[in-house]
Structure 1
């Protein structure tokens, strides 16, 4: 395969997968990891992708909101398993905040009907929790993003300022040891940052494909996270790096 053809195919794969690791590209194109790193460096200079820790991420439509239907079928099994682990961290009479991710929707479905107060910017999470009589649901309100069925913007951020919660459960597009947590949409990133500020502790729920990835909008530094829930496909080296930084890692089965 000619170098130019390999470069074109690398960009296609990155845009299709949104993020991919050097090791995977090396196996896919039957070249060394060092060759792939040089390829990614060149393609980043040409503004065709962005390098991340251990791989590359797509820059195509970075700020576009992914539709809820699309997110529901992406890594669904891993997200559901992570959600089940997250629910185990909730105690009766807790006050929690949930973002508008698919994983928190799975949490809402799995959550027992116990005395809780839940604040959320997600319409789907609020509807799911409304079926449970003992759970008090508070919606942030705000500007509606139709694709993700979530509220964002200054009104949503100000409404969060009125509250204090025990735990914040959030997901994100990127979890990077140096770049911290990040999201592809700036509105969502700002709201998730505010959720973390009103919580005693933050639990990040991210499947293994999110590690080593940095996306458009910074949410918070990794040191501000209390615990990370992920799936068993996470690379052992990634897990070790985060644990060495004092981040509690819980692996769903």
Structure 2
């Protein structure tokens, strides 16, 4: 297969699936992953797709709800490092709430099997925690959002009203100094707001790409967050501004 033909087919596949991994493309076209990465670099320069950590994302998609597959490969190493740091805040006997972010799923994978109660609206988080016999899992239920493999909506929000937790761990699409935390999906934003309301301590898990971004629906003001965990790519200027607001900021380095 000619290089030009392979690259054309790569664009077709990315647009069809919305996102795809380098390893998958390598298997499909029987070339090395390094060759695929060079293809993706060229195609991104031509504005035919967008590269992400471990894969590529379509520029043609138009959806307020990002697919889980796409989120799973975006800034994956940063999210894992943030998750590892967040797990250190959990103690045996805690009651916590985890949202449907990929960072929360990484947390579920890293959690030790210890006495713990976890409320979540994430199918992926619930499935991961089901492997740990000492962890009690409570699902919010509600309307299934297939792209994010999560539950949301009025029923999910009402289910949280019955509980109080020690800590809430949430992520979001945007973190803005003036406009606060925001999400592109209204149902997710409302549910995350409720998660924060039932928690004694609130922890934001946000990789550096989220900062300075404002999306569709506000979740809460940034000063309502007790602790922020992010990665070392956060700009010095933004870090200084967060510290000036006396926000508890923890910057982690990916392994």
Q: What TM bracket, shorter-length normalisation?
A: 0.7 to 0.9
1 CA distance for matches of 2:227 and 2:176? 14
2 CA distance for matches of 1:174 and 1:201? 20
**TM-score for the superposition, normalised by structure 1:** 0.76
The aligned counterpart of 1:136 is: 136
The aligned counterpart of 1:228 is: 228
State how 1:180-195 maps to structure 2 within 5 Å. 180-195=180-195
The aligned counterpart of 1:244 is: 244
User: Aligned to 2:80, what secondary structure does the other structure show?
Assistant: helix
State how 1:1-253 maps to structure 2 within 5 Å. 16=50, 61=62, 64-253=64-253
2 CA distance for matches of 1:210 and 1:17? 17
2 CA distance for matches of 1:105 and 1:229? 16
Structure 1 residue 201 displacement after superposition: 1.1
2 CA distance for matches of 1:176 and 1:242? 10
- What number of residue pairs does the alignment pair up? 200
What does the per-residue CA deviation read over 1:104-140, in whole Å, with 9 as the maximum and x for residues that have no partner? 0000000000110000000000000010011000000
Structure 1 residue 245 displacement after superposition: 0.7
Runs of 4+ that moved beyond 6 A? none
Rate the CA distance shift 1:17–1:193 in 2: closer, same or farther, 3 A: farther
Structure 1 residue 246 displacement after superposition: 1.3
**TM-score for the superposition, normalised by structure 2:** 0.76
What does the per-residue CA deviation read over 1:163-191, in whole Å, with 9 as the maximum and x for residues that have no partner? 00000000001001100000011110000
* Superposition CA RMSD, Å: 1.8
User: Aligned to 1:181, what secondary structure does the other structure show?
Assistant: strand
Structure 1: tracts of 5 or more residues without a match: 1-11, 19-57
2 CA distance for matches of 1:237 and 1:186? 30
User: Aligned to 2:90, what secondary structure does the other structure show?
Assistant: coil
2 CA distance for matches of 1:222 and 1:230? 14
1 CA distance for matches of 2:143 and 2:245? 36
Structure 2: tracts of 5 or more residues without a match: 1-45, 53-58
Q: Which has the higher contact order (CA 8 A, sep 6+)?
A: 1
Structure 1 residue 243 displacement after superposition: 1.2
